[in-house]
A = this chain, B = another copy of it.
């Protein structure tokens, strides 16, 4: 048997395959396709204090090996989550992580305080990298001072595991990783989507109502992998790799580059069973290569180069 587990501090994950926020709903949408409890964890939809309707339609466009989205954090707010969703999903035998968002630092703090009280939520993912909202979001994740401030403020009120999700739309992602580590983040996840756009040439107008949106899917994998490698070399806390992971091989690239875990995003739209298939594939790879613990391959490429 191969050991696939990993930990953020004293929080144990039975395996390193999680699902990415905004791409896996609250998990239950996938009940027909896979056993959610087999996953290492699920990061639920981006949540805000107040309910949000998000951006206008059209919010989506297909690109070469990827897609743009401009959902803009549509969600029913933390009250609804706590009352209606939390009871439904807390039965899953996996780590449920809430992705939190706000326009102001106070929003993040208030949300973190609320979620701190939810027994079955062992961690939050602080989203300072959403490119699709006018206020907050990526603005926090592309300015070092703001990133520091919001992490510090949330850390002060949140006792469980704090994962900070970084934006790729920066000159030097390592600087941001260092700052959030310094401020007490327990883990770093990256990348969120890259800011992109598409024009409808026939209609002569932008494909998205918001003009720009977030690029995800295999197209961004090389960039995600590079950033994960850079960050994992630098920080001591576990790094969760995200970006364009469609196959076992994609996921393995991230582990070999230094990620302790991965999140599967857009892939779930194309194959709702992707997270489980990738999980099985990782196990088979380790067996074939003669490893008994996934930790043996984490950051492996740094040893040989």
Does A301 make an interface contact (CB < 8 A)? yes
Does A229 make an interface contact (CB < 8 A)? yes
Residue pair B252, A201 in contact (C-beta under 8 Å): yes
Bound-state CA distance A65–B199 (Å) is 18
The answer to whether A199 and B253 touch (CB under 8 A), given A212-B226, A300-B204, is yes
Residue pair B205, A301 in contact (C-beta under 8 Å): yes
Bound-state CA distance A242–B99 (Å) is 35
Does A171 make an interface contact (CB < 8 A)? yes
Q: Write out, one digit per residue, whether chain A residues 177-206 have a CB within 8 A of any chain B CB (1) or not (0).
A: 000000000000000001111110100111
Bound-state CA distance A256–B205 (Å) is 8
How many identical chains are in the complex? 2
Residue pair B222, A197 in contact (C-beta under 8 Å): yes
Q: How many chain A residues have a CB neighbour from B under 8 Å?
A: 46
Min CB distance A26 to B, Å, is 28
Min CB distance A53 to B, Å, is 20
Q: Contacting A257 at CB < 8 Å: which of B199, B229, B301, B304?
A: B199
Does A220 make an interface contact (CB < 8 A)? yes
Bound-state CA distance A66–B170 (Å) is 21
Residue pair A66, B222 in contact (C-beta under 8 Å): yes
Q: Write out, one digit per residue, whether chain A residues 221-237 have a CB within 8 A of any chain B CB (1) or not (0).
A: 11101100100000000
Bound-state CA distance A225–B61 (Å) is 14
Does A84 make an interface contact (CB < 8 A)? no
Q: Please give the residue numbers on chain A whose beta carbons come within 8 Å of chain B beta carbons, in ascending order.
A: 63-66, 68, 142, 169-172, 194-199, 201, 204-206, 211-212, 215, 217-223, 225-226, 229, 244, 249, 252-253, 256-257, 285, 289, 297, 300-301, 304-305
